[in-house]
Structure 1
Amino acid sequence: MIEHLLPPGVASRAAYGDELDHVPVLPEETAAVARAVPKRKHEYAAGRACARAALGQLGIPPGPIPRDSRRGAPQWPAGVVGSITHCDGYRAAAVARTADILTLGIDAEPHDRLPEGVFDAIVATDAERAALAAVTQSAPGVHWDRLLFSAKETVYKAWYPFHHRMLGFHEAELLFTADPDVPGTGTPDRGGYTARVLVPGPLLAEGKGPEVFTGRWIVRDGLLATAIAVPADTAAG
């Protein structure tokens, strides 16, 4: 599913169900989940397995993908950017060489409403709530609240490698667009989004990257996925 959102130059691997949940992690990775519950260990193992398979498509031999000491983000081989996601029934990773892609962020979620109170409490700005109310009227078959949550995760994942700090849900503002309706359903199943980061300073780093992130989204088989991939040739320096 995630592969439909990614441009040329990005390699990906996805696993459905528990396909890769029991693949062993490498010794350098075990400390990250030593005290985790089995569900978290399985997700972690599958995510790393997807990442190594995707790296293999770039001709990079399998190796450890440890977490950084600040927020637990994956640490990729030199010259590589990437992102990992997992939710119930789906795990995926996407990677690219920095010569092709400046930064990446992917996310997957169940296609369902967010838990009660989450949307208003932490996810949406006032402008986003108004925009989503309008699009929900025109396309009620899409869970736009969960889609917004997922898209903001991709913004954070793409932004974090340059700033190394949390980006709050209210520190980025998103606008969705939908591709033409799926024939016979009247409900869009994919589209795009733009994200404007609201904190002071450059979006990525001085002289690097676009002024606004753009991403893609898709809904399929009870899941939704979102992705941002910034081409390296958008960098100014």
Structure 2
Amino acid sequence: MIERILPPWVASAEAFHDPPGAALFPAEEAVVAGAVDKRRREFTTARHCARQALAGLGLPPAPILPDEHGAPRWPDGVMGAITHCAGYRAAAVSRKAVTLGIDAEPHERLPEGVLQTIALDEERAALARLGGRIHWDRLLFSAKESVYKAWFPLARRWLGFEEAHITLDPSGVFTARLLVPGPQVAGRRLTGFTGRWIVADGLVATAVTLPFE
């Protein structure tokens, strides 16, 4: 599923269940040594997907450890992202991306009160004009998560839900306009991102990629 919204220069892997043969490196085991079973399974399968994706770049298996902020640390020269939710795990990696972000969520309405927390007034008004069977509120949340994952490796600081304006297009694309000064990328100030979205198999997934020029 996720590969359908990623460009061909991004390698990806996904899983709709936790494979019994998935294993962790000792350093990864230490990260989840005291974790509950749910967290351990998410972590293990996501790393399994990450290693499959890295194999798509011709790279050998390696531990994918979190940095001090919890973000995955990738091999030198590789940019990547991981996502997991109930019934789905995925990873995407590339040697040609300045940054990238992916997110997957259950295709269901957001819990009561969450939309007011994560959406700008203009975004909520735009959602009200969109029809069909898409849970646009959940899609907006996922798009903001992908934008944050793409933003963080460049800026190395938090991006709040209110600091990016998302415009969703029913064609399967979205744009993100940064409402705070972005980092410098290739000598120019970053002002936003373009992403793609998909709804399939009871899930909504989003992806943001920014290639080297």
> What TM-score do the two structures reach when normalised by structure 2?
0.95
Question: Conserved in 2, the CA contact under 8 Å of 1:17 and 1:88?
Answer: no
Does the alignment pair 1:218 with 2:210? no
SS at match of 2:8: coil
Residue 174 to residue 203, structure 1, CA distance change in 2 (3 Å): farther
SS at match of 2:157: coil
Does the alignment pair 1:90 with 2:88? yes
SS at match of 1:78: coil
Question: Conserved in 2, the CA contact under 8 Å of 1:82 and 1:95?
Answer: yes
What amino acid is the match of 2:122? Answer: A
Distance 1:72 1:17 in 2: 23
Match among 135, 148, 152 for residue 156 of structure 1: 148
What amino acid is the match of 1:96? Answer: S
Question: Conserved in 2, the CA contact under 8 Å of 1:85 and 1:106?
Answer: yes
Question: Conserved in 2, the CA contact under 8 Å of 1:203 and 1:212?
Answer: no
Distance 2:32 2:179 in 1: 33
Percent identity reads 57
Question: Conserved in 1, the CA contact under 8 Å of 2:99 and 2:154?
Answer: no
Does the alignment pair 1:178 with 2:173? no
Q: How many residues align?
A: 213
Tell me the equivalent position of 1:130.
Answer: 125
What amino acid is the match of 1:58? Answer: L
Q: How many Å apart are 1:198 and its aligned residue?
A: 1.1
- Structure 2's unaligned 5+ residue stretches are none
Distance 1:92 1:47 in 2: 6
Tell me the equivalent position of 2:179.
Answer: 198
SS at match of 1:46: helix
Residue 204 to residue 110, structure 1, CA distance change in 2 (3 Å): farther
Does the alignment pair 1:110 with 2:106? yes
CA-atom RMSD in angstroms: 1.5
Question: Conserved in 1, the CA contact under 8 Å of 2:155 and 2:183?
Answer: no
Tell me the equivalent position of 1:231.
Answer: 211
SS at match of 1:225: strand
Question: Conserved in 1, the CA contact under 8 Å of 2:11 and 2:92?
Answer: yes
Question: Conserved in 1, the CA contact under 8 Å of 2:65 and 2:72?
Answer: yes
Tell me the equivalent position of 1:46.
Answer: 45
SS at match of 1:215: strand
Residue 4 to residue 12, structure 1, CA distance change in 2 (3 Å): same
Tell me the equivalent position of 1:16.
Answer: 16
Question: Conserved in 2, the CA contact under 8 Å of 1:105 and 1:158?
Answer: yes
Residue 75 to residue 171, structure 1, CA distance change in 2 (3 Å): same
Distance 1:19 1:228 in 2: 27
Question: Conserved in 2, the CA contact under 8 Å of 1:176 and 1:193?
Answer: yes
Distance 1:194 1:78 in 2: 29
Tell me the equivalent position of 1:184.
Answer: none
Tell me the equivalent position of 2:58.
Answer: 59
Distance 1:89 1:159 in 2: 26
Q: How many Å apart are 1:208 and its aligned residue?
A: 5.2
